[in-house]
Structure 1
Amino acid sequence: MSAHSHEQAGTPGHPHPHGHGHTHDGIDWAAMIGDLRRDDAMSADADAEIARRLIGPIPADTEPTVLDIGAGAGGQSVAFARELLARGGGRLVIVDAVPELLEAAQQAVKVALDGDDRVRVQTVHADAAAEDFGAGIPAADLVWASRMVHHLPDQQAGAARLAGLLRPGGRLALAEGGLPVRCLPWELGIGAPGLQDRLLALRDAGFAQMRADITGAISMPYGWNVALSRAGLTEVTSFSVLTDHPAPPSQAVRDSVAAWLRGLSERIGDRIGEDDRATLRALLDPAADTYIGAREDIYILGVTTVFLGRR
């Protein structure tokens, strides 16, 4: 389940990365490819809806160029490729600073296209935090970044750099915010009720600490719609998409929830109380009757909000 570094919304999995190995946010993104792929599988329907809503308004007489900045393992890139194919073709440019992720995303798109060359796919190795970001990246009708900008030292400057990649009339779309993903019942029959709320509070505190620890971090004390307006964009708005895998869970949901809980317990470490730590050990033991992945009442429910504006 989503270990999005801020896990602001969406599905179980991990944050969509932007850096090389251990980046300025201290996260080793390349080690997360397996979890990112699991996340992509859970969010496939939401990703497809996002692709339809963002690519659909591009004028029909345009061969679109779409940039996916910080593409992770390629789940949204796959959705964009399929939507471009459905309208006859276009160009998809996958941008990331982690070579292993570029390769993973490119391979995922290659499998999805199954040899159809009407969608031209290009990869660019670049760090969105770099001052020269944009060199070698073509101007686009749509620039997409999912849960990436909030890892940059200067989030407002990052949004402005992304806006600068747009063609006149093009749109920048940022997946930032939404509602925290839910997957556990409030009372588990082991430990104190409300475990997930306590874990999410610790996760959010950890995100705040991650931001504070980034060298040169600059506060952005306003919402993403304001950030897009300050980046010079107009017609700023937002929409939200739902990810809903209700109980009883499929095996994929079971695996995803167990992976989320395991990853989250590792990341919060000693900040959790001893009672909750003991509960987590019991929930994460596949040989125990208390194993979280064996429950019939786990699920995945989350909301991803997309903020967008036009150049």
Structure 2
Amino acid sequence: MNTADTDVSRPNHTGADAGTAAMAEILELDAEVLHSHLSELTAWLGELSDREPGRIVDLGSGTGTGAVALASRFPRAEVTALDLSPQMLHRLAEKAAALGLADRVRGVRADLDEGRPVIHTSDLVWAAASLHHMGDPDRVLSDVFGALRPGALLAVTEMDFFPRFLPDDIGVGRPGLEARLHAALNGEPAADWTEHLIRAGFVAEAVRPFVIDLPAPLPAATARYAQACLRKLRSHLDGQLSAEDLAALDAVTDGEGPGSILRRDDLTVRTTRTTWVGRRP
């Protein structure tokens, strides 16, 4: 078990890289652009809970967008956010302090693949886009089961597919650039976590897909969100798209060029996220 350095008031820049900063930016912009989804999801979990949560754990919290949303939804709750990255946890600490939540939101550095840190028995565990990164998610779910009181909930949320932003007519001489981008990256179908929850001892309480379809015009942050997401996808596309498509994508994600996504006012956000809820008997 690794619970090293739970003091996140100071960032540790040793080993920090551009990838961590880019992912942190995506997480922050995601929460800003999709705030209505986050609000709807936390409200639904409140309806499913048998009582207002007093202790909440956020597994793989990143910059703490989920932890902050949960603390805001449940004003009496203490939230423990677990993440391996000190840079992410530093951002969480700054955000919690700025929102007046520092007394209720605590970051703990932990490697969940090494075992569960010592935490108090909890009323709700939240795992958003984190379980699929873990080497042995079934073991993690068993650990979560042991950390919940009877009747408490686990909520697992995963993205069914990466958000889409662009109009269909974008592409150099060939429309449909974003569709080809996603087709090139298609991997295994999204996991269904129901059986995993049952194996860990949970009762499968509910499964709910949230369809997100935000039409234009959207707030300015949407363009920065789209740019950050497409740049993230671009890093995996060499050899999978034609040179023409890669050049078109580079032009779209260029921050200064005339074809930059930052200059467009016709962006949309289309994606689906599914939440599985298990209850400890």
* 1:67 to 1:191, Cα distance in 2 relative to 1, 3 A: farther
Give the corresponding residue for 2:199. 230
Distance 1:294 1:63, change over 3 A: closer
Asked if the contact 1:92/1:121 (under 8 Å) is kept, the reply is: yes
Q: Which residue of 1 aligns with 2:166?
A: 184
Aligned residue number for residue 142 of structure 2: 160
Residue 272 of structure 1: aligned partner: 241
The one-letter code sitting in structure 1 at the alignment partner of 2:57 is: L
In structure 1, list runs of 5 or more residues that go unmatched: 1-19, 209-219
Give the 3 Å change call, closer, same or farther, for CA 163–151 of structure 1 in structure 2. same
Q: How does 1:155-304 map to 2 (within 5 A)?
A: 155-188=137-170, 190-205=172-187, 223-304=192-273
Aligned length: 268
Whether the aligned pair in 2 keeps the contact of 1:41 and 1:75 (CA below 8 Å) is no
Distance 1:221 1:180 in 2: 11
Q: 1:127 to 1:30 in 2, by over 3 A?
A: farther
Contact 1:229 1:236 in 2 (8 A): no
| Structure 2 partner of 1:121 | 105
What amino acid does structure 2 have at the position aligned with 1:182? Answer: R
Report the Cα offset of residue 148 of structure 1. Answer: 0.7
Q: Is the 8 A contact 2:25 2:228 kept in 1?
A: no
AA aligned opposite 2:93: Q
TM normalised by structure 2 equals: 0.84
Q: Which amino acid in structure 2 is aligned with residue 104 of structure 1?
A: R
Question: How far does residue 243 in structure 1 lie from its aligned partner after superposition?
Answer: 3.5
Give secondary structure in 1 for the equivalent of 2:217: coil
Cα deviations across residues 256-306 of structure 1 (Å, max 9, x unaligned)? 112222221123233322121121122233443322222232111222111
Quote the Cα distance in structure 1 between the aligned partners of 2:173 and 2:134. Answer: 37
Identity %: 29
Secondary structure at 1:172 match in 2:
strand
Which stretches in structure 2 are left out of the alignment for 5+ residues? 1-12
Amino acid paired to 1:121: V
- Structure 1 residue 46: Cα displacement: 1.3
Contact 1:21/1:29 (8 A) holds in 2: no
**C-alpha distance in structure 2 between counterparts of 1:54 and 1:113, whole Å:** 23
1:44 and 1:75 in contact (8 A); partners too: no
Mapping 1:300-311, distance limit 5 Å: 300-311=269-280
Q: Which residue number corresponds to residue 65 of structure 1?
A: 55
Which secondary structure does the structure 2 equivalent of 1:73 belong to? coil
Tell me the distance in 2 between the aligned counterparts of 1:164 and 1:269: 44
CA distance in 2, matches of 1:291, 1:63: 44
TM-score for both structures, normalised by structure 1: 0.76
Residues 156 and 193 of structure 1, relative CA distance in 2, 3 Å threshold: farther
The corresponding residue for 1:211 is none
- 1:40 correspondence with 2:9: no
Do the aligned residues in 2 keep the contact of 1:77 with 1:109 (CA within 8 Å)? no
Instruction: Kindly indicate whether the alpha-carbon contact (under 8 Å) linking 2:171 and 2:245 is maintained by their aligned counterparts in 1.
Output: no
Give the residue type in structure 1 aligned to 2:41: I
Q: Distance in 1 between matches of 2:173 and 2:35?
A: 33
